[in-house]
Structure 1
Amino acid sequence: MAESHTPQLDTSTDVPAPPIAAAFLVNFDHRKGYTLTWYKSIEGVQIEGTVEFKSLPSGLHNVEEDLVYFIHKDYAGLSAFLNVPDEHAERKARMLAIGVLVPLEHGRMGRIWRHAETLKSLARSQIQDVADTSQLEHYWDTTRLDSAELISEAPNESTDSFGKIGGYRKSRSMSTATNYLHSAHHLTPHHPASNLLASVQLFGPLVFPLFRAALLRKRILILAEAPVEFSCDLVYNISILSSLSRSLLSLLPDSSIDLTRLRPLFTIGVSDIDLMKAANPNPKDISETQQGWIACTTDDVLSTKPDLYDLLVLMPSTENNYARRKVFPRLIESTPLLTRNFPQFGQKSTQRDFHRYVHLQQGLEQFPSGRASSDGGGESDESSSLDAHSSAYIENKHVVEPPSWSRVAYTSLVWWASAGDRRGGFSEMEEIEMERDLSLLQNDSDEEQIREVALVAYFHRLTNLIFTVLAEAIARADGRNSDIDESEHEESGEDTTVGENSAERTSSLGGDEDDDTQPLLSESGNLQHVEITQDDMTNMGLDSWSASDKIFVENMISLWWGRKADVRAASVECCGLRIL
């Protein structure tokens, strides 16, 4: 198995739980609230006055149990919360949380979820006798982090973890942060990706606008009710899905390298407002945006401060589980006028997103689930695919943009020109789109690949496709040769990178073969606008008829390359004249 070039899902089962830098017990006191009643930590790790707030977000008293992820300085935190009814206790219940901290592995969670089952077991035992901490002491003694291990840890990505090689920046830490995948493995208990498929089904085609917001490195705040484990998993998964592969670094200017990963903050609250401001101050221009982040919260007061975030994700209430019609999350762009009275409808997906989502659901059926063994789905003919489109549209039409009048006119024109031959089936363009979408799910490995890994691979290939096409457009604008064959856009490597030929393509994008260390972004201030054609939009899997996708491409060019883009919308021409 080749080394993966993008942060991946850790599906191995033979790797032990990471050593911990701190362990703590938070107990509920009816006079003082949640109090830190016991803790152990290595030297230099200060947790008093912090973890009791981070590990117990608002609303937990309404649930029986939960797993809470959070970030504390250079450490990832996980706490197991337990709420047990007790008629003899104050408020008729006993509540506590047992948690740990592990060092961040280059900004990521360090496989901390491997402690989840143990923490839940300790919580169930500890709540029977809060005063007896012998099991906690034993747990600390057997899993604590040695000082020597901490010193050997690589620097966090919050510092400059990228060095320059051959004139381009290259990650020093990417190879050590990347996990090797063994596709036959199943996900370990409480792995965040265990909820990946459920998240995609919940968002439906809206998963693609959310994904694009992550590529734009926006500050994404997820507002949800307790329990928060699902929301924390969503934070992790979106960060993974939108990460950039190492092969793309050579296509980006140095100023964009810090954007290669969307920073996951996990659970945050009112006490983290300063952190939210420091992580990404509100820029005057999108090209000045620093590294974005994604976080979840149960404190709705944060949603009333639109200056703190760029995109608000309102998760459906648990009461909507019994609704007659599916209730989707709402994606709401931050505006100065945003208050508690949120708009009834949020962002919608494009028509292309909808078709891509249907194709994705169909293509995933060929892979077994990582949660339990299952047979892959059988082949479906065109009629069953059409039925799937029809039923899916009925369920998802409330979050899909209606077709533009020009697209309707164009579709009608094509139907008229073909004498209605394709009225009962897919159009030629739809068939091409389906083939392209399903090709992103191909498995080049001889091993069986689980569904969750295939889904991550799909989004990484889509990311690489978008960045490669944009880099080619910039090369055209700058008058540099770009003789990349269309076939090179197809996946040719293993795991989740779009082709292992990305490095070989650098010379054609960079111009002079004798000077392949020159950055793609010229230092001259006289830069041409980047023209994005309709074919470019199609090759990126975007909707050339959609205004929102046009804005997305303009913002991508501005954010990652500091350039201005002229996006040519779809049109219909006759004898050289535009008629639609």
Structure 2
Amino acid sequence: MSVCAIVDAMFEAREGYQIKRIFPDNVSLEGIEYSLFPSGIQQLDRCMVAFRFRNQLCLSVYRKKLGEYYERNAYFSSIGILLEDVNMSVEEAAAKYLNLLDFVSKAIVSPSSLKDPENVLQFVYHDFQKAIQSSYNAGEPLEEYQQGLQSAVIEQDFSAILSIFNTREQLTYDSFSPSLVRHYYSLIDNWLGPVFLILYKCLMQKKRILLVSSPSEEIYSIMDSMTRLTSVSGEENRVLPNPLCKFYSVGLTDIDILENSNQESGWIASTTDSVLLSKSSLYDVAFIWPTNPLSKPGPPKIQLSNGYSLKHSYEDLLNSRLISDKFDPRIASTSKFTNYSIGAIIHIILFNSTRFHLVQSLVSTNQTNLFAAFPRYNQFLLNLLNQHHDSIGISDMRNFGWNPFRQLDRDFVFNVAQFWVHKHVHYRYPSYAYLMQPTAWGVHSLLLFFSIWKRSVPTMLIYLLLLKWWYS
């Protein structure tokens, strides 16, 4: 049995948060009512909330109560389910239970005048019927299943509703299905852009990460997709998940849980309470989207706990575009060529310090799916770090796919070695290393300027040869 409990909670302006009913009634879930509702409920008509309660994944659907009386008295309802499988992702839970949970929630909050079989069928069952027919895979006939579900929600028989939820266990979930992968690609492109590489580095370093935005189901999917990117392919191609904890939705009532979590394993959590940003000791880095519900998705701002902001580099931008070219041409063909892209191309000509071995390493895994390529790359990275005794050089950093002259990339490799391989490494740089990049910039610029000014073909050929050597 995956669904072990179902909760019906309410918020009323005069009474506050309350639990109306729990099934089984001998389960103690004190305090769960605060997590079942999103922040800013007065601005939302419907919202899905995912969170962890005592290390159990919970899924709830919040709705504003229908009817004029309830509008005047600010009455809100939320129906939640608790899942026993602690390793289940929100994507898997949503695929199995969200349509059914949404239907149960809509039926329960309906005005009493609608709670007869005919009105329930017309008002809340019609939209759900197609979804149930396409995904139904229970042992009993479909017609009996529909009748039992309809009767259960009309009578609010939570025992029967819980049994119906657990018939969904037989639904298969394919974590590498083409539709889910396309969904993940579009989320990375629309919600993260080149910032996804910074989030990837933070996850690999097991930092404490806050995702701050308006209530959005897409944020949960971003958490699932990015933790898949930071998994590691083990023996026999078995994927070992990142041990970093996913708390999903958190609020002010969860501060103690976040502060007392294992600092070494790190965590990632989403929140709508921007007040958490003021507690600098709580998190390491925050990714902040506009909190206006009408705002369009886009790359978030990045804020460190010390108040400083962090921006992606031109190399992150170029790597993300090349990754899109290799793994998702649909995204690359529709993305616009911005001023940042033009600046990035100038940057690659002048500096070209990474030489894009990150993308080459991903392609060398022989995987066409990005979510299979990254775990293999992660294993490649850990293997190389494990082979090096105590130091790495410029060529090693370039083989990893990161810029040896960028402090953030050096910290990334150092922390990955420390947290994943349990060893300390130092950088073996020659004394002239930090002169290489500005010297190359000066030589490139001088040759290019002279060849254009004098219209010198030999100088242009020398410049092109130097450029070819710098790319090699």
The TM-score, its normalising length taken from structure 2, stands at 0.71
Superposed displacement of residue 536, structure 1: 1.4
Please identify which structure carries the higher helix content. Answer: 2
Per the alignment, do residues 540 and 307 of structure 1 end up closer, same or farther by CA in structure 2, a change over 3 Å counting?
same
Which residue, out of 36, 49, 57, partners 2:38?
Answer: 57
**What residue in structure 2 maps to residue 134 of structure 1?**
156
* Correspondence list, 1:393-542, <5 A: 393-394=338-339, 429=355, 435-440=360-365, 442-443=367-368, 454-473=369-388, 477=389, 530-542=390-402
**What residue in structure 2 maps to residue 162 of structure 1?**
none
| Pairing 1:122–2:104 present | yes
Spell out, residue by residue over 1:114-167, the C-alpha distance to the aligned partner (whole angstroms, 9 max, x if none): 11111111111111147965254421233459xxx9xxxxxxxxxxxxxxxxxx
* Correspondence list, 1:199-210, <5 A: 199-210=188-199
The one-letter code sitting in structure 2 at the alignment partner of 1:206 is V
Superposed displacement of residue 533, structure 1: 1.6
Bigger-Rg structure (1/2): 2
Task: Provide the C-alpha distance between the structure 2 equivalents of 1:360 and 1:555, rounded to a whole number of angstroms.
Answer: 24
| Pairing 1:34–2:17 present | yes
Which residue, out of 333, 346, 354, partners 2:304?
Answer: 333
- Quick check: 1:532–1:568 contact (8 Å CA) kept in 2? yes
Task: Provide the C-alpha distance between the structure 1 equivalents of 2:244 and 2:378, rounded to a whole number of angstroms.
Answer: 13
Superposed displacement of residue 207, structure 1: 0.5
Task: Provide the C-alpha distance between the structure 1 equivalents of 2:414 and 2:354, rounded to a whole number of angstroms.
Answer: 28
* Correspondence list, 1:154-553, <5 A: 186-187=179-180, 194-195=183-184, 197-225=186-214, 227-247=215-235, 260-281=242-263, 290-318=264-292, 321=295, 328-335=299-306, 338=307, 346-365=309-328, 391-394=336-339, 429=355, 435-440=360-365, 442-443=367-368, 454-473=369-388, 477=389, 530-553=390-413
Superposed displacement of residue 264, structure 1: 0.5
Give the number of aligned pairs. Answer: 392
Superposed displacement of residue 183, structure 1: 5.4
Superposed displacement of residue 397, structure 1: 8.2
**What residue in structure 1 maps to residue 417 of structure 2?**
557
Task: Provide the C-alpha distance between the structure 2 equivalents of 1:307 and 1:330, rounded to a whole number of angstroms.
Answer: 19
Which residue, out of 95, 105, 113, partners 2:76?
Answer: 95
- Give the secondary structure class of the aligned counterpart of 1:36: strand
- Give the secondary structure class of the aligned counterpart of 1:261: coil
Spell out, residue by residue over 1:317-360, the C-alpha distance to the aligned partner (whole angstroms, 9 max, x if none): 347746xxx8520122212xx4xxxx5xx322233322221112
Per the alignment, do residues 438 and 33 of structure 1 end up closer, same or farther by CA in structure 2, a change over 3 Å counting?
same
Superposed displacement of residue 267, structure 1: 0.7
Task: Provide the C-alpha distance between the structure 1 equivalents of 2:43 and 2:249, rounded to a whole number of angstroms.
Answer: 17
Per the alignment, do residues 58 and 321 of structure 1 end up closer, same or farther by CA in structure 2, a change over 3 Å counting?
closer
Superposed displacement of residue 31, structure 1: 1.4
- Quick check: 1:571–1:579 contact (8 Å CA) kept in 2? no
Task: Provide the C-alpha distance between the structure 2 equivalents of 1:321 and 1:260, rounded to a whole number of angstroms.
Answer: 31
Q: RCO greater where, 1 or 2, for CA within 8 Å and sep 6 or more?
A: 1
- Quick check: 2:67–2:111 contact (8 Å CA) kept in 1? no
- Give the secondary structure class of the aligned counterpart of 2:423: coil
- Quick check: 2:3–2:82 contact (8 Å CA) kept in 1? yes
Task: Provide the C-alpha distance between the structure 2 equivalents of 1:301 and 1:207, rounded to a whole number of angstroms.
Answer: 24
Per the alignment, do residues 54 and 196 of structure 1 end up closer, same or farther by CA in structure 2, a change over 3 Å counting?
farther
Task: Provide the C-alpha distance between the structure 2 equivalents of 1:42 and 1:50, rounded to a whole number of angstroms.
Answer: 15
Task: Provide the C-alpha distance between the structure 2 equivalents of 1:33 and 1:396, rounded to a whole number of angstroms.
Answer: 51
Give the RMSD, CA atoms, in angstroms: 4.0
Task: Provide the C-alpha distance between the structure 1 equivalents of 2:251 and 2:68, rounded to a whole number of angstroms.
Answer: 31
Spell out, residue by residue over 1:515-538, the C-alpha distance to the aligned partner (whole angstroms, 9 max, x if none): xxxxxxxxxxxxxxx221222112
Superposed displacement of residue 401, structure 1: 12
Per the alignment, do residues 428 and 546 of structure 1 end up closer, same or farther by CA in structure 2, a change over 3 Å counting?
closer
**What residue in structure 2 maps to residue 71 of structure 1?**
52
Per the alignment, do residues 393 and 545 of structure 1 end up closer, same or farther by CA in structure 2, a change over 3 Å counting?
farther
Superposed displacement of residue 54, structure 1: 1.1
Superposed displacement of residue 236, structure 1: 2.4
Spell out, residue by residue over 1:393-415, the C-alpha distance to the aligned partner (whole angstroms, 9 max, x if none): 525689x8995xxx87666xxxx
Superposed displacement of residue 19, structure 1: 2.9
Spell out, residue by residue over 1:365-410, the C-alpha distance to the aligned partner (whole angstroms, 9 max, x if none): 36xxxxxxxxx79xx9xxx9xx97xx54525689x8995xxx8766
Structure 1 unpaired stretches of 5+? 1-17, 150-178, 250-256, 282-289, 367-375, 412-426, 444-453, 478-529
**What residue in structure 2 maps to residue 417 of structure 1?**
none
- Quick check: 1:263–1:293 contact (8 Å CA) kept in 2? yes
Spell out, residue by residue over 1:63-93, the C-alpha distance to the aligned partner (whole angstroms, 9 max, x if none): 2211111111132100011125633324375
Task: Provide the C-alpha distance between the structure 2 equivalents of 1:267 and 1:222, rounded to a whole number of angstroms.
Answer: 9
The one-letter code sitting in structure 2 at the alignment partner of 1:558 is Q
Percent of pairs with identical residues: 21
Task: Provide the C-alpha distance between the structure 2 equivalents of 1:202 and 1:210, rounded to a whole number of angstroms.
Answer: 12
Superposed displacement of residue 220, structure 1: 0.6
The TM-score, its normalising length taken from structure 1, stands at 0.59
The one-letter code sitting in structure 1 at the alignment partner of 2:61 is A
Per the alignment, do residues 428 and 356 of structure 1 end up closer, same or farther by CA in structure 2, a change over 3 Å counting?
closer
Task: Provide the C-alpha distance between the structure 2 equivalents of 1:39 and 1:357, rounded to a whole number of angstroms.
Answer: 47
